[in-house]
Structure 1
Amino acid sequence: MIAIIDYGMGNLHSVSKAVERLGYEARLTSSPDEIAAADGAILPGVGAFGDAMGNLRETGLLDAVLRYADSGKPLLGICLGMQLLFAESEEHGRHEGLGLLPGKVIRFRGPYKVPHMGWNRLSFRRPSPLLEGLDEGYVYFVHSYHAIPGRVDDLLATADYYQAVTAVVGRDNVYGMQFHPEKSGELGMRLLGNFLKLCGQAPQTAAIEAGNAQ
């Protein structure tokens, strides 16, 4: 079972449906016990960093997510969920993050449109099971803040938006995607599929083919 962590932030159903299209059991949950028992966990998110961390604390899910990451089982942060993996953010003041990856989240600065919204091409930087068997291509972004990893080895892929923008990160069992894989066509679904393979569940072949055809 793949736990889609429900802490009151984000479009959880679109992520859940994408997981199901790939042939895996998805469960929207705010139960620490269900999260602990999951084969893999996904932390989605849309909204403000500080609000998200506040919700995690108030719901008792902050410790549940940290314990899950410490278990060694695969954890994926998507969009705001990826940003929460880092140590801190400057969004509307300074806020501490989960601290699973060193680095910080900062606002785009420059004479260009913010938020960064639309399709941008990924550039792969380092080998990873998350990128295995895939070619560089376009995925869909919507964000006003971007992550600056504290360790270059954690940066798996970037996209160009007037600068190299962190797009995919990973260290050990913790991964993150700044874009929305569930809204990013075939490449997004294949990236999500690679994460799900790490979770050890056996998908239904027909469902995978149907998901890749979207």
Structure 2
Amino acid sequence: MSPSVVVLDYGSGNLRSVVRAVERAGADVVLTGDFTAALEADGLVVPGVGAYAACMAGLRAIKGERIIGRRLAGGRPVLGICVGMQILFSRGVEHGVETVGCEEWPGEVSRLQADVVPHMGWNTVSVPQGSALFAGVEDQRFYFVHSYAARSWDLETNDRTAAPLVTWAEHGGDRFVAAVENGPLWATQFHPEKSGDAGAALLRNWVDSLR
């Protein structure tokens, strides 16, 4: 049986390419904003493009932050992509406007401090040992399109819980979080659905983790 995956439809763009990419990775995919369906699927993908505040408004309109929170409380996998990763942090600051995020991780999403913004194109990433998400593609390049990012990792863990695996990237001398694996919550700042064979392999790794 293929794992069931919901790609969360909350008004963000670029959803069809995400659906197709996750289908190719071996999942049974439904695009919906339905609360129950999103809660009960084997995996949930939270995509996102555009402004942080607009994404949070769309997410809250369908109680998406509650869906994410309830899934994670039950150990059920969630994958955030691009702004779908950024909204997992405590807050985002764009053009002087601060927006409260889903608060799954502490920290702030802010504008990249580089001469050229947005960061657009292929880039390498620095993957920690033991990554399941990047298994087999640790040395590959991935496709980024963003002006904002989490530029620090603020979550503190104790000896009783496994520390999250944080993957980093750099643009114009500014280092930022490129991906996180934190129990059932995984996320990427880059677009795996636009990252060719490497992105396809990464999505297969996530879908395989749902089996």
Tell me if both proteins adopt one fold, taking TM over 0.5 as the criterion.
yes
Q: Give deviations 1:9-49, integer Å, cap 9, x for gaps.
A: 12111010001112211110100110111000000000111
For the pair 1:154 / 2:164, whether they are aligned, the reply is yes
* Equivalences for residues 88-127 of structure 1 within 5 A: 88-92=91-95, 93-110=97-114, 112-127=115-130
1:167 aligns to what? 178
Other-structure match for 1:192:
203
Q: In the comparison of the two structures, how many residue pairs are matched?
A: 199
Cα 1:56–1:35 shift into 2, 3 Å: same
Q: State the percentage of identical aligned residues.
A: 40
CA RMSD of aligned residues (A): 1.5
Q: Does 1:7 align with 2:10?
A: yes
Q: 2:55 is matched with which residue? A: 52
Q: CA deviation at 1:199?
A: 1.2
Please state how far the C-alpha of 1:126 moved relative to its aligned partner. 4.1
User: Which segments of 5 or more consecutive residues in structure 2 lack a partner in the other structure?
Assistant: 157-162
Gaps of 5+ in 1: 201-214
Give the alignment's TM-score, normalised by structure 1: 0.88
The answer (yes or no) to whether the contact 1:126–1:157 under 8 Å persists in 2 is: no
Within the candidate set 2, 24, 33, 2:27 is matched to 24
Separation in structure 1 between the aligned mates of residue 164 and residue 175 of structure 2, nearest angstrom: 14
Change (3 A) 1:25 1:159: same
Aligned-pair CA distance for 1:155: 4.9
CA distance in 2: counterparts of 1:183 and 1:171, whole angstroms: 23
Aligned structure 1 segments of 4 or more residues deviating by more than 6 angstroms: none
